[in-house]
Amino acid sequence: MLKRILTATILFSCLLLVSACGQKSADKAAPSIDAANNYANIMKIASPQFKNNEEMPDKYGCKGTNINPPLMISDVPAGAKSLALIVDDPDAARGNWTHWVMFNISPETREIAEGSVPAGAVQGTNDFGGANYGEPCPPFGTHRYIFKVYALDAMLDLSAQATKQDLEKAAVGHVSDRAEIVGLFTRK
């Protein structure tokens, strides 16, 4: 009888321990920049070179030019102190691949011209290891390139070595609005 009680106590203790460990790891999960998802959804991002969910021109990928397409930003919230931009490819073989990270963009910015960075903006480190726009060049098929702009109520205290993950962590709780445009690219 004593053996059964001890066995039951040990099993119960193990279950509590496993349950507590699972809860702790869930509690430690990093908050997401998009977790709130209660943005005004007023801000917009567009490009005169491609429409949402349409093919981007060849010169913005795999042609060796490595220049970003022009982007137009509108309806930035009045209280924004800065903008941030992330461009990534969720269809990459290794998982979501970051092509461009930029932050501390002036909230007055209405255009990011082709092949340029707005004055005062900081480019972070992309998954290629550079602080620049990394041109799309999927190994095969069509990939989606998501250009996401965030309106923030603060400037971010990050260096040019900051990655997408660093930007997302620093921006949690500071995002007042968000917009995106998806460009498709097929390697030819």
What CATH number does residue 41 fall under? 3.90.280.10
User: How does residue 146 score in pLDDT terms, banded at 50, 70 and 90?
Assistant: very high
For the ranges 26-30, 43-47, 78-82, 118-122, which has the lowest average pLDDT?
26-30
> 4 with 77, same domain?
no
SS3 29: coil
Residue 12: domain span: 1-30
Count how many domains the chain has: 2
Vertex 111, ends 110 and 113: CA angle to 5°?
170
pLDDT at res. 97: 96
> 121 with 131, same domain?
yes
Q: Which two tokens stand for residue 21?
A: 């460990």
pTM above 0.75, yes or no: yes
pLDDT at res. 26: 33
Pair 182, 144: CB distance under 8 Å = yes
171 has pLDDT over 70: yes
Residue with tokens 């963009």: 105
> 11 with 61, same domain?
no
pLDDT at res. 40: 72
Mean pLDDT in residue range 95-105: 96
pLDDT at res. 2: 44
> 55 with 18, same domain?
no
Q: Which two tokens stand for residue 143?
A: 């990939």
